[in-house]
Amino acid sequence: MTKRAHPAPAPETPLSGGRLKILSLGLPRTGSSSMAEALRILGYKRVHHGTEMILEGWDVTWVQRAARAHFPALSSPSSSSSSSSWWGKREEKQTSPPPQPFTRADWDEVLGSFDAVTDFGCLFAGPLIAAYPDARVVLVHRDVDDWERSVNEVIIDRFWPRSRGSTVDLLLRALLRLAGEKEPLLNGIRQSFLGRFAAAGPDQLRANLRAVYAQHVAQVTEAVPPEQLLHYRLGDGWEPLCKFLGKKVPEGVPFPRRNDAKTFGIMYDQIQKEKMRRVAWVLVRYGFSLVMVVGILLQLAALW
């Protein structure tokens, strides 16, 4: 990694919602929950993190819109996902125009009330850096072997389970559609990961992890002026972060160490519970006979 001058400390400024100040752009599974809590302790009251986005019922429709806008190759069967740009530039060979990449106004609509963005925002690092050129950027590093193993176990194995595509899975998805649920969040998360990691599916996603990790570090480092960028390694503690942000080290407060895997599991379980609630609603409204009919049709479709 190219060595950069130590970033200059940020001046102490009043903290109020509506002006995004911090972009923490370490990839998922690099301690984003701990970093989010650290920023809150330092006074950044509104910190965006994927877990709270799910558990507290925030608007999540923007996830799929952003994925379609910035990774348009995923929307076209004839296009290769590997050609998606880090900056979300549109494919020229699309048969139907995808949504336009988010503008600053679009990002303000979903993130404008926050002081800092962590976690999921890293998948849109290029567009966010372009939209908020004055923001200070924290890039968290983790041992690549540990990171790769964690992404496989905590993210990919959950969002692309072996049961996906089975008769039971197809049946559940059919029932969810009857309930008006089109899985915008899950689809948006899957699209965002596939798009950022230039993958057509989970196998290619696994294969691309290490290369995209290195690419991500290089691209963020190149895009952000050195005085606005902090390379932070898990375990560095308060001092480098506080110096970078112009904050005093909290006295008697250890740097937070959140269990990201446990937190992610809670978030995923919440998504599944909501899906089961909607399935139960369909069963009550339409009756179990409908389930039998749909199941038979799916079995026949599988034989064909």
pLDDT digits (tens, 9 = 90+) for 231-262: 999 889 999 999 999 999 999 999 998 765 56
Q: How far is CA 266 from CA 51, 63, 141, 269, in A?
A: 8, 19, 24, 5
Residue by residue, DSSP assigns 139-197 as EEE--HHHHHHHIIIIIIHHHS-TTTTSHHHHHHHHHHHHTT---HHHHHHHHHHHHHT
Q: Report the pLDDT value the prediction gives residue 128, as an integer from 0 to 100.
A: 96
CB 42 within 8 A of CB 255: no
pLDDT-flagged residues of the chain (< 70): 1-18, 53-59, 72-98, 162-185, 259-304
Q: Report the pLDDT value the prediction gives residue 15, as an integer from 0 to 100.
A: 41
Q: Report the pLDDT value the prediction gives residue 82, as an integer from 0 to 100.
A: 39
- Residue 57 region, left (φ>0) first, then alpha (ψ -120 to 50), else beta? left
What is the DSSP-derived secondary structure letter of residue 57? T
Q: Report the pLDDT value the prediction gives residue 260, as an integer from 0 to 100.
A: 59
Query: Using CA atoms, how far apart are residues 255 and 52, in angstroms rounded to an integer?
Result: 20
Query: Using CA atoms, how far apart are residues 151 and 144, in angstroms rounded to an integer?
Result: 10
pTM above 0.85, yes or no: no
Q: Report the pLDDT value the prediction gives residue 299, as an integer from 0 to 100.
A: 47
Q: Which residue has the tokens 């179990």?
A: 288
CB 63 within 8 A of CB 189: yes
